[in-house]
Structure formats: structure tokens, C-alpha cells
Amino acid sequence: MKSRPVGFTLVELIVSMGIMAILATLILFASNRWIDRGRSVACISNLRNLGVALQSYLGDHQQKMPAIAAGRASKDEDVPVIDTVLLEYAGSAKAFACPADRALAARTGTSYYWNSAMSSQNLLTLNFLNFVQDATKIPLLCDKEGWHVNTEHNVNFLYADGHVAQELSIFTTP
């Protein structure tokens, strides 16, 4: 009686390696989605913190929105923007950088655009596009780009009432 050699056959090894490669690909894909989702959640947290910083600013300035530009092309530009005006209220320059932003915040100072139509308006009488007066529908800050690719909407928004959402809802109900 012949005894079978101990070990795996070549076919068994190839099949096992194929299964492991498929599993590794699935795990890598799933982990990238969760990492991207985590960055989106950290971005939402940054926007909430900037909303709190803005509320502190408004308290010091008779509820008047800052008169600032939407953004700037480079930190070298001497223009009042969200990251220069709210820095003392935000506490750290890190609050102005979305974790999914790889380069834009380093070059321009922030990952977020300011809705410059709100500049110098009073918080209590905000008017957007001459017909939107509901603070829950007036966006103040948003991501400069759609960095959050593994979420339903690629951009996060901070609204005038302080809530943050991943959906632009100017004319719709949330």
C-alpha cells in the first residue's frame, strides 16, 4: 500500500493562493471605504467646530457675519478669509483642513469655501439670494472639492443654524 506524501499538491496551493488574493482584495477595498468614511466624519467635526467658532465671533461682533472673501488661491494673498478671521476662535489651524484634503489646505490655508453672499449680514436677518431666509437652508461653509468619494454626497456643508450635512438643501426640506 502506497502512502500519500504529506503536504499540498500544486493545484491545492494555487487554489488557496487565489482565495487568499480575493479575500485580501475585498478587505483592502472595504478598509479604504471605512478610512474615507472616517475622514468624512472628521471633516464634519471640523465644520461643526468652525460653526462654534463662528458663533463666538458673532457674539463678539453684534451678530454680524464677517466680511470675508470666499477663498484665496495662495496663503501669500493678503485677503481676509475664513482661516484668518476665525483662527483665534477656532484655536488651531487644523480645524480649517479637511483630513481628505491632500494639498489644497496647505496651499490656500483652508479646505473650505465661505459663502461670500453672507458677508457683513446680520445673523438674525440673513437673506440668501433674496428669497431664502430660513437659516437651516443657508449654507455658510462647504468643502472646496468633492473629497468624500465613498459617501452619498461628496461635499459637506455648514448651515447658518449650525448644523452640518452632506447634502445641499437650499430649496428642499432636510
pLDDT of residue 114: 94
Beta strands in the chain (DSSP E): 112-114, 139-143, 157-159, 164-165
* pTM metric for this prediction: 0.78
pLDDT of residue 7: 76
pLDDT-derived band at 149 (thresholds 50, 70, 90) equals: confident
For residue 19, give every residue at least 6 positions away whose Cβ sits within 8 Å of its Cβ, in sequence order, or none.
Answer: none
**Span 39-51, average pLDDT:** 92
Rounded (5°) CA angle 98-103-108:
80
pLDDT tens sequence across 91-137:
899 999 999 888 889 999 999 999 999 999 998 888 888 777 788 88
User: Over 70: is that where the pLDDT of 80 sits?
Assistant: yes
User: Over 70: is that where the pLDDT of 6 sits?
Assistant: yes
pLDDT of residue 172: 54
Q: What integer best gives the mean pLDDT of the chain?
A: 87
pLDDT of residue 1: 61
